[in-house]
Amino acid sequence: MSEWLLVMFGGAAGAVSRHTIDKVSKLWPGDPILGTLFINLTGSLLLGLLAGMLVDKFALPTKFRHLMIVGFLGSYTTFSTFTVASLQLLREGQAAKGIMNIAVSVLVGLVFAYLGMQLGGMLKSWRQ
């Protein structure tokens, strides 16, 4: 099977999984962000597990990487990629770069989310 199809099938499964968990998490009382928190934490755990296997020279077939890492986890969450990349920088002795990645990702992510919300509000007002 081609790498493109593997990424596509993995991506579809990741997106459906994320959507399902998000819907199910809204059935229980509590904070509505718990579904996203669960998704991001489990995605981080899964990617960390797979990255740990790769670091320790555990052979994962290329097709499995396309299906699970690029496809499934790529659509399930991108937070897992961020956390594992930051940890790898810290583990490799690149503390300044790792801390900068964390700070910029979180702070700029918040700023972009704020700007997007503001722009969305303006577009909504403009359209009415």
Torsion sign over Cα 36, 40, 46, 47:
positive
Is residue 59 over pLDDT 80? Answer: no
Confidence of residue 127 (pLDDT cuts 50, 70, 90): low
127: its two tokens: 């359209």
> pTM for this structure?
0.68
